[in-house]
Structure 1
Amino acid sequence: MTTTEYVNPIVPQRADPWIYKHTDGYYYFTGSVPAYDCIEVRRAKTINGLTDAEPVVCWRKYDSGPMSANIWAPEIHYIDGKWYIYFAAARTAETNEGLFDHRMFVLECEASNPLDGPWIEKGQMKTKWESFSLDATSFEHRGVRYYVWAQKDPAIRGNSNLYIAPMLNPWTIAVEQQVCISTPEFEWEKIGFLVNEGAAIIKRNGKIFMTYSASATDYNYCMGLLWADENSDLLDPASWHKSPAPVFSTHQELSIFGPGHNSFTVAEDGVTDLLVYHARNYKEIVGDPLYDPNRHACVQPISWTPSGFPDFGKPLTRAAVGAAAEDVKV
């Protein structure tokens, strides 16, 4: 276990946090900015260093049309010698009808340092339907690169399910092979909204573990867990098993509310697995939770059970979260 103490929040007011440690020794961070109007990336040699690292805006939304509103949940990946950012965006609307009109898009950068750019738009990631879709991630397993995302199936009641498909290249999936691997079925996945979203992958102990988030983005937001054997067919829904209970959720006594939309990285020791997630430090929210800016990016170590499963423990205490989160409460 790492001896590094992480000072949470690592980055205040950044929801949907994603931290990637590259071979150059830098940690790269991105997440949803409060205004939902751009994508920024920062980097540092240590995770605590991300707090004060200068963010660089690599892309801004359009004034109208596709990609003009609600820029959500960017992830930065390094694939075949190039950088890619997967993100979701909606179109500007005079009413809130545009709020849930998201589609998924891809940016590409050939620079060795992605903060230098330029970033090129590779277009929309096309799936089986033209419907609400977001929160894409990507991972490689045994020579195949997979894309996992959340989407609304017009034939299924609810807001979003989880899908997986092999990728033909970093901006195209094999649509004919996409399959659904999880729908909201337990009560804790259906509070406020019927949601499975924000998938993240970690491979350990002969298994592919996939965390995801469920329910509305207030204090009911929480993390679930899917897993598949590393030798199984990942495109067979029967290969995926689901925890009947959330694995990481609100801890009112510690004043940590709605932890979720996580990612994974590794500590500076190169060994300890880390959970990266966002959370609020208060329960009551004025107005729509989506427009409350105080979802803060946090980090804590993961332990592993004797049976090889991740144990996420409890969210860090209010004391550990520190004054930074208090200072930005509105």
Structure 2
Amino acid sequence: MHPDPLLPHRAGPHIHRHTDGIHYFTATHPEYDRIAPRRSRTPAGLATADKSLIRRAHATGDMGAHVRAPELHHVDGARYAYFAVAAAVAADGLVDPAAWSESPVPVFRSSDSAGVYGPGHNAFTVAEDGETDVLLHHARSYRQIDGDPLNDPNPHTRIQPFGRRPDGTPDFGAPSPTP
């Protein structure tokens, strides 16, 4: 069982399970000014894990902009942290448009019955049992946003298991109800 929310006021969650089994997590900080990752042997343990400040926004200039949706990656023995942009690695056809298909309907959406709105910015890992796929996402517990949605620090990081359809594609189901 995972705490819900896993981490309050953390939009844009990202998780990386390293080969040593440690889960590394980061997300948008409510002040949009830092990257402060956590690590834990289990996804649930991230809720209480210590944070490490690895970057603070500059006071001015291009590097003084909002720090949004940071990600941590481990590639060829090197560690990388980046934010607000995405990069693709030309491996296994990931950049080949023919390798991708788009669902005609949303694969994960708001749920009035669960009281969960605006789920998004998904990340994936494996649960403590080493087999169960889990989905991290951010979502709000209210429908309407006052003002600019990018200035709303209230989406919480949530976590829930997901399954697979017979054809192997992920079945995210509906967001778990808020407590």
- The alpha-carbon distance between structure 1 residues 236 and 28, as it changes in their structure 2 partners (threshold 3 A), is closer
How many angstroms apart in 2 are the aligned matches of 1:36 and 1:238? 36
Higher strand share: 1
Matched, 1:276 2:136: yes
Q: How does 1:286-325 map to 2 (within 5 A)?
A: 286-319=146-179
Say which structure, 1 or 2, has more relative contact order (CA 8 Å, 6+ apart): 2
Which residue identity does 2:35 align to in structure 1? I
Which residue identity does 2:109 align to in structure 1? S
Task: Give the match for residue 79 of structure 2.
Answer: 83
How many angstroms apart in 2 are the aligned matches of 1:316 and 1:255? 9
- The alpha-carbon distance between structure 1 residues 286 and 83, as it changes in their structure 2 partners (threshold 3 A), is same
Unmatched segments (≥5 aa) in structure 2:
none
Please give the TM-score of this superposition, normalised by the length of structure 2: 0.93
Q: How does 1:127-206 map to 2 (within 5 A)?
A: 134=85, 136=86, 146=89, 166=90
Query: Which of 24, 27, 45 does residue 23 from structure 2 map onto?
Result: 27
Q: Is the Cα–Cα contact under 8 Å of residues 34 and 291 in structure 1 kept in the other structure? A: no
Which residue identity does 1:87 align to in structure 2? F
Q: How does 1:89-108 map to 2 (within 5 A)?
A: none
How many angstroms apart in 1 are the aligned matches of 2:134 and 2:167? 19
Matched, 1:43 2:39: yes
Matched, 1:256 2:127: no
How many angstroms apart in 1 are the aligned matches of 2:87 and 2:158? 19
Which residue identity does 1:282 align to in structure 2? Y
Query: Which of 38, 44, 58 does residue 54 from structure 2 map onto?
Result: 58
Q: Deviations over 1:39-69 (max 9, x none)?
A: 1111112211111112111011111111111
How many angstroms apart in 1 are the aligned matches of 2:96 and 2:13? 29
Q: Is the Cα–Cα contact under 8 Å of residues 75 and 137 in structure 1 kept in the other structure? A: no
Q: Is the Cα–Cα contact under 8 Å of residues 7 and 48 in structure 1 kept in the other structure? A: yes
Report the identity percentage.
47
How many angstroms apart in 1 are the aligned matches of 2:82 and 2:59? 20
Which residue identity does 1:295 align to in structure 2? P
Which residue identity does 1:17 align to in structure 2? P
Q: Is the Cα–Cα contact under 8 Å of residues 260 and 279 in structure 1 kept in the other structure? A: yes
Which residue identity does 2:64 align to in structure 1? S
Runs (4 or more) in structure 1 with deviation over 4 Å come to none
Residues 23-32 or 265-274, more deviating: 23-32
- The alpha-carbon distance between structure 1 residues 68 and 303, as it changes in their structure 2 partners (threshold 3 A), is same
How many angstroms apart in 2 are the aligned matches of 1:241 and 1:301? 23
User: Per the alignment, in what secondary structure is the counterpart of residue 19 of structure 1?
Assistant: strand
**Structure 1 residue 29 displacement after superposition:** 0.7
Please give the TM-score of this superposition, normalised by the length of structure 1: 0.52
Which residue identity does 1:281 align to in structure 2? S
Matched, 1:8 2:4: yes
Which residue identity does 1:289 align to in structure 2? P
- The alpha-carbon distance between structure 1 residues 60 and 8, as it changes in their structure 2 partners (threshold 3 A), is same
